[in-house]
A and B are shown apart, each in its own frame.
Chain A
Amino acid sequence: MSAAPARRRKLAVVIGSGGVKCAAALGLRQVLDREGIPIDMFVGCSGGSIYAATAALGFSPDEAREAITRLWTREVTSQRRRRALLELLLPRTFGFGEGFGMRDDRLVLQRLRDGFGQRTFADARTTLYVAATDFRTGEQVVLSEGRIVDAVRASIAIPFVLAPWRVGGRLLVDGFLSDPLPVNIAIREGADVILAMGFESPMQSRLTSPVRFIFQVSTIMTNNLLRSRFAFTSHAHHSEVIGVMPEFRDRIGLFATERMPRIIEDGARATEAHLPYIRRLMSDGAG
């Protein structure tokens, strides 16, 4: 009796939170495209959700870079919401609430609509999952249906900066709060080989303002959350979780889109380091 043919391993790419650093995922895609290695699933979180969504919708890396350069600019979060300061200073008088955000989100919404239009998850050529966080319970929420714009808007709802976003009756905030690199979603959805591209946040060089102080606290907590979740999922998975963590030569701001070419190179280089093993895994089959 002849043996059953080996099943091809299912490959997922998970792109974690990291602002413009997530452009490294374009470098990862370039390497996999060049090698003819098919991707079966994208998972995105926060800034990574934008890259995961463009990839899943079939944007080429060049098209995605162009679209994201238009979308992700400093301008989108520099739109002050005048009333926000009053809400902070006199919360009872001005009605501070769960929908608080320091910035006006109309421009970011417009840019997301320009980029994704009315496309839904059903329009994705490759399976797509977007991670957000339930603001009331803290639970991770996995979005896999409805409009891409809503999913991405929820996933990038940076606390204090952008207001939470309501999807399907739940008030959602940035996915990084529940897991900055949600490998668990790819595991649960049946991936074998998981390429997890994550980004640790840099520490503040000087703690000279309350904002920097808060950023430092947030960075410590987020980096530790990333590591602990990554460690757990790495040990729990039946197959491979390959952490593709680009090393950047210097500090990269949240909106430094002018640095994208270098970031993409760094992402490609980080992927190349794992390529011999990825090739072996994908040619072996899962048996």
Chain B
Amino acid sequence: METAVEARGRATVVRITGSVDGTTADQLTAVFTHELAAGHTHLVAALDGVDYTSSAGLRVLLGAVKEARSAGGDVRLAAPRKDVLKVLELAGFTGILKVYGDLESAVAGFGA
């Protein structure tokens, strides 16, 4: 798994590529922890490059969401592939998170 972080308006975009699973969970946790510690609480996880997700990987996202919301921000998901979206739905994420079809909409969702 690889990640890249960029600032986009009010949002900080975490682009994720590869597999979000138990073997990459620690790496992804470190990225979110670093951004949140830096005060970047309006996060967008860009998932168009994610080809696999598992429950252990998704728990990382859940942890980041809780921390971001506690700090007055949020984590939003952008552009998941069909298979990944199905896993997100089954795991209940689409009921508690805002999921956007594309990155621009997710960034715009945080306002200018």
Contacts and interface: CB of A to CB of B under 8 A. Distances in A.
Residue of A234, A235, A240, A273 with highest tally of chain B CB at under 10 A:
A234
A242 B23 contact: no
Interface residues on B, range: 10 to 19
A114 interface: no
Contacts, number: 50
A237 B52 contact: no
B89 to A, nearest CB: 8
A273 B81 CA distance: 14
A231 interface: yes
Interface string A202-229: 0000000000000000000000000110
Nearest to A243: B90
Contact of B22 (A234, A245, A273, A281): A281
Q: Which of A227, A231, A284 has the most CB of B within 10 A?
A: A231
Interface string B38-63: 00000000000000101110110010
A239 B22 CA distance: 8
B92 A237 contact: no
Interface residues of A, number: 20
B83 interface: yes
B92 A228 contact: yes
B6 to A, nearest CB: 28
A239 B59 CA distance: 10
Contact of A227 (B52, B56, B62, B90): B90
Contacts of A240: 21-22, 54-56
Contacts of B21: 240, 277
9 contacts: A227-B92, A231-B91, A231-B92, A235-B55, A240-B22, A243-B91, A276-B52, A277-B23, A280-B23
